[in-house]
Every structure is written in structure tokens, then in C-alpha cells.
A and B are shown apart, each in its own frame.
Chain A
């Protein structure tokens, strides 16, 4: 609080403050661009909305592939391990660039050269790797005795996974996945680099048009309006789970 108060008092005393105030916190420009920003943000929401289920499904599939024990399925496991290692090891922006520019560069006909498709693919590939790891920890966190109990009844491996292990594992990792999806909501803005005029790109357009940085501040506020409540909700779920376990 004291630090915050100090900033509030001291920053306006800095010599460059009037200029910064004019170019970053310009209320007239803020009012002027806000509706446009909000409109562009709908595209972020849409990209998020169609990416999230794809990420959830692919992440789950990869986590399941890593759990398969049959020796014959070893290549599948190896592939899943390589996949998670690679896509967790590369910055999202690089994947967006490589997939977003590289694949349409193959000369695909419309609509298959759309940056929406390949941008989404880039996000899905990256985030599914993280989500897969979260699911895997969830699956491994379910005690072996649950698997033993299910198998001992004569249930198949796949039924054991589907009805006994997964329902418990997925519930356990809801907070961790929530955090990933909050990060995804922010990273949707990275697609602006390959074309889609979403909020970050729109803010850039306003910036050039009005020679003012206020649109970026507006965009930041819009992101915060979504991510802060979502983060609080994830924390709430986590603490609820902690209480239930103790």
C-alpha cells in the first residue's frame, strides 16, 4: 500500500510525467478508441472459445497416450513425450510465426491459408502440450489402489481409465488448467503478428492513427477485466479443494 501510495505521489513529480500522461493516459483518446477496442476483443474471445475445447481434447489424448502401458504402444508413448517436450520448449510466439507463416507459405488455396486456422493450430499445439502435462500429473496423482480395485473387479484397462481414474484426475487438476486457460486468453494477442485484427493489433492501428499510446493501456485494462476475476476464481477453486482434502 505504501509503495503504491509512493508511486501515486512520486511518479507525477517526474520531469517527463506530463508527456507520458498525454501519450499513455489520455482520457479523450481513451473514450474515443474504447468501443473499437472492445469490438476487436470479441475476436480474441472467439479465438479463445474455439481453441479451448481443441486444446482440452488434444491435451487429454496426449496425456492418455503417455499412460498407455502396452509394450506394443511404445511408439505412441514416445511420440507423446517428444511432442510435449518440443512444444513446451519453444516460445509460443515462435510457434505462431513458424506455423502461421510457414504453412500458408506452402501455397495452400483459400480458405486453407487463413491465419485464423494456422494461428489457432499454433496455439492449440503449444497449449495442448502444457494441458497434457497437467492431465498427466492428475492421472499419476490418483493412487494405484484405485486402479487395482477397478482391475480386480474385472474391468478393462480402458474402462478403468474412463470411469475410475479420469473423472477423479480431471477434477483434481481443474485449478491448474484454469491457470493455463487464463494464460491462453492473453496469448491469443500473439496472433496479431500473423494477421488477425484482434485487440492488440487494433490498438496498434489506433496508436499509429492518433500518435498516442493510450489504446494499449485501454487494451491492457480490457484484458485485466477478464483475467483478474478468472484468476480469483481459480484460486477459490484451489483453496476449496485444499480444504476438502484436509
Chain B
């Protein structure tokens, strides 16, 4: 069943058209990977799905409901669709635990004492049990990114978006973050990733979308798309990155 769909999604920044007529379907429990060169529109597409950017044309459907109507309150939608950014974006003036607890506290009105156990379990699950009281600048990049993932998960989103979350990490720290994604995958989370990790995408994705100049050029299961791309542009891109 389709959880998230876009039909004819278009987004421009001034003259620059960043997303062109995007048609994307993400089914329940699926992991979809967006690949493509920098500037191909992957990040903007994810930001549109999370309603951080208003779209110019087309629709976004969440469980069949249009969430892209202008004037719609974006807050409840954003609570259902979590996003993790390339640059972590933790709140530097709060401890890791406070970073995670802020949204559940403010939105669900849950007090810190009631949240403590649940949050601790989340930290534990992602190997961060001893990092709860650390400030972001006391954590490694990999730890910060895992905290950012925990922060998004604490709102119990139905869908998670990941925007090149390993691109800003030192190579030796990429693994620990990818492991978190594997774990989420195993738990059946519906996910959309913008990624440059081709090996990872090939190993785990249900579906790969190759984007170029703001448009989805080709979509397919990883085995087919990686070994036998039909479009010349996809072949060129894969030849350059693999």
C-alpha cells in the first residue's frame, strides 16, 4: 500500500527549477534510495516531502491524503514524517537527551520524568547509553548523527527521510550510522534516503530512483538499475561513481 506519493511535484527557486514533475511512490515498509549527482534535487525533494519547502505544482499524498494544499497546518504532518539532515543540526545549547526530549515534551505535553525511560531505551538501542548528558560538541560526528536520528525517532514518525546523512562524516564513522539504518530497515520502517553510498543502496533498497537535473530519470529495483540501467544518463552517472 502506498504510504507516500507525489504526482507532478515541481519546485523552483527563482528561475532555477530544482524538482521537475516528480512522480514517486513509497509503499509501506519500503526503503527507497534517491541517487544522483550533487544538485540533482534529492535534498530539495526530501525537504518538500517534510513540508519545509512549499511546492509550486503537483501534489503530495500521505496515506492518500493531500498534504500539499497551501494553508494546511504543517505541524501534525511533520510529526508523522521525520527527517535527518546531512549536517546533524543538533541544538548546541542542549544535552543529547534534551535534544531528543524537546519535541515530545512540547508537542505531546509529556514531562521529562515520564519520557526518561523511553528515551533511555532509544539511546541504548543505538549504542548511545553513556552519551545522554553530553552536549553535541562533546560528541563525535557519528554520535551526533545517531542522536539526530534518535531525536527524529522519539516522535514516533511513520516515515523517515534521510538527507545524505553520512556525507559529512569521516569515513571511519560512516559504518556506525549505516548500521542504524540497517537496524531501522530490519524493524520495517518506511524510509526514503538521499545517498551517495551506492553499496549500501544496492544492498538494502527496495527501489532506486536516479535523479538528474531535478527529474527522476529512471526508477527500478537495485539489481536491475545498477547492473542494467536503461537510460544513458544513469549509465554515465553509475560509471562515474562506482
Residues of A within 8 A of B (CB): 145-146, 148-156, 159, 163-164, 167-168, 171
Contact = CB atoms under 8 A, between A and B. Distances in A.
24 contacts: A145-B87, A146-B89, A148-B85, A148-B89, A149-B89, A149-B90, A149-B91, A151-B52, A151-B74, A151-B78, A152-B50, A152-B83, A153-B78, A153-B82, A153-B103, A153-B151, A154-B76, A154-B78, A154-B103, A155-B103, A156-B106, A159-B106, A164-B102, A168-B92
Interface string B125-148: 000000000000000000000001
Contacts of A145: 85, 87, 89
Contacts of A163: 91, 102, 106
A146 B91 contact: yes
Contact of A152 (B78, B87, B91): B78
B40 interface: no
B79 A167 contact: no
Given A148-B85, A163-B102, A154 B91 contact: no
A167 B98 CA distance: 14
Contacts of A167: 93
B92 A153 contact: no
Q: From DSSP, what is the main secondary structure of chain A's interface residues?
A: helix
Contacts of A149: 85, 89-91, 148
Contact of B155 (A150, A154, A156): A154
Of the candidates A145, A150, A154, A167, the one having the most CB atoms from chain B within 10 angstroms of its own CB is: A154
Contact of A153 (B47, B76, B93, B155): B155
Contact of B107 (A148, A155, A164, A168): A155
A151 B91 CA distance: 12
Nearest to A171: B93
Given A148-B52, A163-B102, A153 B89 contact: no
B75 interface: yes
Given A148-B85, A155-B107, A168-B92, 15 more contacts: A145-B85, A145-B87, A145-B89, A148-B47, A148-B89, A149-B90, A152-B82, A153-B78, A153-B79, A153-B103, A153-B155, A154-B107, A155-B75, A155-B103, A159-B106
Contacts of A151: 52, 74, 78
Nearest to A156: B75
B12 to A, nearest CB: 19
A103 to B, nearest CB: 41
B50 to A, nearest CB: 5
A152 B79 CA distance: 8
Contacts of B82: 152-153
Nearest to A149: B89
9 residue pairs, one from A and one from B, having the closest CB atoms? A154-B79, A149-B89, A153-B103, A154-B78, A145-B89, A152-B83, A159-B106, A154-B75, A167-B93
Nearest to A158: B106
Nearest to B137: A244
A164 B82 CA distance: 18
Nearest to A162: B106
B152 interface: yes
Contact of B102 (A152, A155, A168): A155
A4 to B, nearest CB: 44
Contacts of B79: 153-154
Interface in B106-133: 106-107
Nearest to A157: B75
A155 B76 CA distance: 9
Contacts of A159: 106
Contacts of A154: 75-76, 78-79, 103, 107, 155
A143 B185 CA distance: 31
Interface in B50-103: 50, 52, 74-76, 78-79, 82-83, 85, 87, 89-93, 102-103
Contacts of B151: 153
A164 B152 contact: no
Contacts of B78: 151-154
A175 B79 CA distance: 37
B75 A168 contact: no
A151 B87 CA distance: 16
